Structure 1
Amino acid sequence: MSNFVDECGLNVRGGDGGAGCVAFRREAHVNRGGPDGGDGGDGGDIWLVADHNTASLLSFRDYPHRRAESGRHGEGKRRHGANGDSLEVPVPVGTIVRDQGGEILADLSSSGTKWLAAKGGEGGKGNARFLANNRRAPSFAEQGESGEEQWLRLELKLLADVALVGFPNVGKSTLISRISAARPKIADYPFTTLVPNLGVVKVREDFEMVVADIPGLIEGASEGKGLGHQFLRHVERARVLVVLLDLASYEGTSPDEQLKTLLTELETYKPELLKRPRLLLASKHDVGIADVPDSCMPISSMTGYGLEGAVVEMERLVRQERSQLTVANTEEVIHRPTPKGIRVEKSGNNLFTVYGRSAERAVALNDLTNMEALQFIQISLEKLGVSKALKRAGIKEGDTVKIGQLEFEFHEDGNFNF
């Protein structure tokens, strides 16, 4: 099984918030000490971090779940629970994050970029927080909020200075093994390379470039034939395209026909690829029987003929492209917007579900048999405008309302029957 994985699923869940504490001050010579329950700690967040030391998504193939630490519960004497530790998950630079519907959520294209994948739950308030003039000894506290959880699709688009493009068995792997320390599998049959190989070419002390050996393309690759979409994806972000043509005549086609087919496939997949700087190399010059096309450099990876000149030309094109790039902020942090307000959805004949963090937090108390707690929920929901929103949605007397884990009956007078 290959150690290179460029697509996978990932399940992330932030840590749960700790529960608030119900406690009262009990001390000698202190009469009616009052509530002193501490707050729960916040749950840890999960961040995806673009890391240049991570080469593929292999670590998620067999272990696709990531969990952050939950917050500790509050204690008496107003001792607040500790926050849970956040978890930073390294992913390769060039990782695209999608939701289950395929929508792009984040593009981690520069080293150090962080994206908030799952936010930890907020810690619950202790009963000391509910002290009021008309509530001198609150005997309820708030539960910790559950951490966010979601499934994500991760997709890797390799970031390379140069992409080697050509038909199967044209000599791409042999070339990258000669000009870099990469050691891909090399054999005398098509599709020897099934995953991209990266090699670092050190031209001189102050300059090196990353070269990607892209698995062989065939006619129809832009339509997905021969895993074409999977392979072409890795060409998208290369600064320079090196197109290898087979002088030994790939399946009886001339170098000119090979070039025409390859450029057609690139243009069909993504037209802007043809605007990239391009270097044409005529491979297998030592055994070739075809004429070298115009504007094409002949090389032989077996004998080394022409390789030095090809590397120098790659360097020139890469330097030219790098000089046009602005320096990216490598510490960029991407936050997801948090939806605000409340939303009501009707399902079935008489069930109305209220969504919204503020409403769900309002009913997340530890003891729903406590009359004080129920009165507090009633007041909080009225302040949030839940009754008005339910009426706008068409609710009627006796219909069921669901907020978070709490279900109750609705009454026309605005009171909820918990």
Structure 2
Amino acid sequence: MSQFADECQLNARGGDGGAGCVSFRREAHVAKGGPDGGDGGSGGGVWLVADHNAASLIAFKDHPHRRAGNGRHGQGKRRHGASGDDTLVRVPVGTVVKSQDGEVLTDLAADGVRWLAAAGGQGGMGNARFSTHQNRAPAFAEQGEEGEQRWLGLELKLLADVALVGFPNAGKSTLISRISAARPKIADYPFTTLEPNLGVVRTDDDFEMVVADIPGLIAGASEGRGLGHRFLRHTERARALVVMVDLASVEEIPPVEQQRVLLEELGAYRPELLERPRILVASKADAGHLEPPPGALCISGVTGLGLPELIRAMAGAVRAARSDQDRGLDAGSSGDVVVHRPAPAGFRVERADDGAYVVVGRAAERTVALSDLSAPGAWDFARRRLQKLGVDRALARAGIKSGDTARIGALEFEYHDDDEYFGEEPTS
């Protein structure tokens, strides 16, 4: 079974907020204690955290669900409920998070970067919060808010200093096994490598660089042929490219033509890849019979021919690219992309299929999320807050008429435009 996965789906759900408490002070020698219900705790959030110790998304393949802890309910004597625990979901550095529509939400390109995948619901307020001069003993509290839940797409783009790019069976896996401690699967048939391999290469002066063996590309890879998009995306963050042509091609494809196709596919996928430092290598020099392209470094992964020269060339390109990064000029680094998700403000009015007018918005929905709207003063309190938010005016602009049905959250009521606010106390 493969222990590597570079794309998966994640279902993140924040914890639900705890409910506010309805309670009244009850003590000896206190004839009429006031309300003392505590607030509910907020639910925990689901956070994605880039971790250099995570190497793959395999953990999400069969278990895509991650949920945070719920907030505790409030209690009497103004005891507030504890907040739910956050859930930290560790993903590899280089993980890109997308919505179900394919929109990029964030790029976790540096170790330790965090992103909120699903927010927890707010806790409800206890009845002590609703005490006013007009209603000194409110018998209602606020329900906790449900946590956010959504599906996300995760894609991993490997972080490597050098990417080895070539046709299938060009000798990339043999090369990385010779210059690093990586031990990829090696065989004499195409597409032996179906997942990228990383190897750390150390030079004599203790310089280190990470080299990625990218699965073989074919003509049309930039259009998705041969899993081209999945393979090509691992080249995006590389500081330098080693373009490898095969001098012993079974298909007898001239190395110059191999070079042309590979560069064409890289440019079609991401034009900026052609601006990266590039080293042209002709592999299998010990057994090849084809003519290498001009300027190519001839190597053999079997005999070791040309490998010291190749390592020096790669190290030089990586050193230069890292120096450019220090000066803010590194084309191979995407930087730390942070996408902010501010909480949606306000509300909107939509029409449901059955003709009802639906008010959608956090503030309006929380206003009617009371424990008991039939309690004395509860509906009056709710509709005063709705009027203050401007919900009545928004419904009028949307064309609602007296007798029409309106919905806010789980609440459904009949609208009356001749009434002071929204109509009579709802029954549902």
Fold agreement, TM-score > 0.5: yes
Q: What secondary structure is seen at the aligned counterpart in 1 of 2:91? A: strand
Alignment of 1:24-35 (within 5 A): 24-35=24-35
Contact 1:114–1:333 (8 Å) recurs in 2: no
Alignment-derived partner of residue 386 in structure 1: 391
1:83, CA displacement in angstroms? Answer: 0.6
Q: What secondary structure is seen at the aligned counterpart in 2 of 1:88? A: strand
Tell me the TM-score normalized by structure 1. Answer: 0.97
Letter in 1 for 2:95: T
Contact 1:113–1:330 (8 Å) recurs in 2: no
Contact 1:112–1:332 (8 Å) recurs in 2: no
Q: 1:330 to 1:259 in 2, by over 3 A?
A: closer
Letter in 2 for 1:395: I
Alignment-derived partner of residue 237 in structure 1: 237
| 1:401 maps to which of 385, 406, 410 | 406
Letter in 2 for 1:146: E
Note the alpha carbon deviations across 1:356-400, whole angstroms, 9 max, x for none: 111011001111221321111111111111010000001111111
The separation in 2 between residues aligned to 1:165 and 1:329, in whole angstroms, is 20
Q: 1:114 to 1:151 in 2, by over 3 A?
A: same
2:330 matched to 1:348? no
Alignment-derived partner of residue 196 in structure 2: 196
1:189, CA displacement in angstroms? Answer: 0.5
Alignment-derived partner of residue 422 in structure 2: 415
The separation in 2 between residues aligned to 1:377 and 1:229, in whole angstroms, is 53
Q: What secondary structure is seen at the aligned counterpart in 1 of 2:293? A: coil
Q: What secondary structure is seen at the aligned counterpart in 1 of 2:61? A: helix
Alignment-derived partner of residue 20 in structure 1: 20
Q: Which moved more, 1:206-215 or 1:344-353?
A: 344-353
Structure 1, gaps ≥5 residues long: none
Alignment-derived partner of residue 365 in structure 2: 360
1:206, CA displacement in angstroms? Answer: 4.4
Q: 1:267 to 1:332 in 2, by over 3 A?
A: closer
Contact 2:20–2:142 (8 Å) recurs in 1: yes
Note the alpha carbon deviations across 1:163-188, whole angstroms, 9 max, x for none: 00001111000001111111110011
Q: What secondary structure is seen at the aligned counterpart in 2 of 1:165? A: strand
Q: 1:351 to 1:205 in 2, by over 3 A?
A: farther
Alignment-derived partner of residue 116 in structure 2: 116
The separation in 2 between residues aligned to 1:330 and 1:142, in whole angstroms, is 43
Contact 1:112–1:330 (8 Å) recurs in 2: no
Q: 1:186 to 1:407 in 2, by over 3 A?
A: same
Alignment-derived partner of residue 254 in structure 1: 254
Alignment-derived partner of residue 74 in structure 1: 74
Contact 1:299–1:307 (8 Å) recurs in 2: yes
The separation in 1 between residues aligned to 2:404 and 2:98, in whole angstroms, is 38
The separation in 1 between residues aligned to 2:43 and 2:223, in whole angstroms, is 45
Q: What secondary structure is seen at the aligned counterpart in 1 of 2:178? A: helix
Letter in 2 for 1:360: E
Letter in 2 for 1:261: V
Alignment-derived partner of residue 56 in structure 1: 56
Alignment-derived partner of residue 305 in structure 1: 305
Contact 1:114–1:334 (8 Å) recurs in 2: no
Note the alpha carbon deviations across 1:105-147, whole angstroms, 9 max, x for none: 1111111111111110111101111111111111110000111
**Superposition RMSD on alpha carbons, in Å?**
1.7
1:210, CA displacement in angstroms? Answer: 0.9
1:264, CA displacement in angstroms? Answer: 1.2
Contact 1:114–1:332 (8 Å) recurs in 2: no
The separation in 1 between residues aligned to 2:40 and 2:223, in whole angstroms, is 54
Letter in 2 for 1:410: Y
Structure 2, gaps ≥5 residues long: none
2:382 matched to 1:377? yes
The separation in 1 between residues aligned to 2:335 and 2:85, in whole angstroms, is 23
Alignment-derived partner of residue 271 in structure 1: 271
Contact 2:139–2:376 (8 Å) recurs in 1: no
1:333, CA displacement in angstroms? Answer: 6.7
Q: 1:147 to 1:219 in 2, by over 3 A?
A: same
1:336, CA displacement in angstroms? Answer: 1.0
Contact 1:4–1:195 (8 Å) recurs in 2: yes
Contact 2:106–2:337 (8 Å) recurs in 1: no
